[in-house]
Amino acid sequence: MENRPRVGVVVFVLRGKSVLLGQRRSSIGDSTYALPGGHLEFGESFEECAARELKEETGLDIEKIEFLTVTNSVFLENPKPSHYVVIFLRAALADPLQEPQNLEPDKCHGWDWYDWNNLPQPLFWPLEKMVQSGFNPFPID
Ligand code: 8DG
Ligand code: MG
Ligand code: MG
């Protein structure tokens, strides 16, 4: 396949002061903690993509999906370099009591909630970069 930038859509699922993260199993960012998400499909809105990827990866249902920011990242660490424009959204659980399942165990070691002020290490580097820059996905109240 021709090497062109692809579009990723990822979502901060917010629950109280926590966010949902999973430890990746991938040639990109292997074993680092990252947000749920994946590739934008033809004809999809960002919100549809976030809800679909989250459902496929964790079984969770979300609502109040909102745009936060966009990044432009080149990944040189795997054998074939890749380049992603990534849309970051946030959302709330449709049912606050619903717990994530690891529905793609070949791609993730497991999902869990992590306090924003006590995030696990190592974070996937694009996420680490955002945190280091002071980015915060929570609404100001
Ligand atoms: P799909 O086949 O299900 O569509 O894709 P996926 O296997 O779920 O893709 P992914 O790797 O989870 O996400 C696509 C790309 O988005 C990933 O390779 C790099 C980029 N990306 C970031 N930050 C994050 C993040 O925090 N989480 C995820 N999942 N991807 C991210 O730049
Ligand atoms: Mg996926
Ligand atoms: Mg994914």
Q: How many domains does the chain contain in total? A: 1
- Residue 130 is assigned to a structural domain of this protein: no
Q: Is 73 in the pocket of ligand 1 (CB under 6 A)?
A: yes
Give residue-wise pLDDT tens across range 97-122. 999 999 999 999 999 999 999 999 99
3-state secondary structure of 46: helix
d(CA 52, CA 18) in angstroms, rounded, equals 21
- Residue 86 is assigned to a structural domain of this protein: yes
d(CA 91, CA 94) in angstroms, rounded, equals 9
- Residue 19 is assigned to a structural domain of this protein: yes
Q: Which amino acid is at 136?
A: N
**What pLDDT, on a 0 to 100 scale, did the predictor assign at position 119?**
98
Answer yes or no: is pLDDT of 1 > 60. Answer: no
Full domain range(s) for residue 87: 6-119
Q: Is 86 in the pocket of ligand 1 (CB under 6 A)?
A: yes
- Residue 127 is assigned to a structural domain of this protein: no
Read off the DSSP letter of residue 36: S
Q: Which amino acid is at 78?
A: N
d(CA 68, CA 65) in angstroms, rounded, equals 10
pTM: 0.97
- Residue 71 is assigned to a structural domain of this protein: yes
Q: Is 26 in the pocket of ligand 1 (CB under 6 A)?
A: yes
d(CA 42, CA 56) in angstroms, rounded, equals 17
Q: Which atom of ligand 1 is nearest to the CA of 57?
A: 8
Give residue-wise pLDDT tens across range 12-35. 999 999 999 999 999 999 999 999
The CATH code of the domain that includes 73 is 3.90.79.10
- Residue 88 is assigned to a structural domain of this protein: yes
Ligand 3 centroid–CA 36 distance in Å is: 5
Give residue-wise pLDDT tens across range 125-135. 999 999 999 99
- Residue 129 is assigned to a structural domain of this protein: no
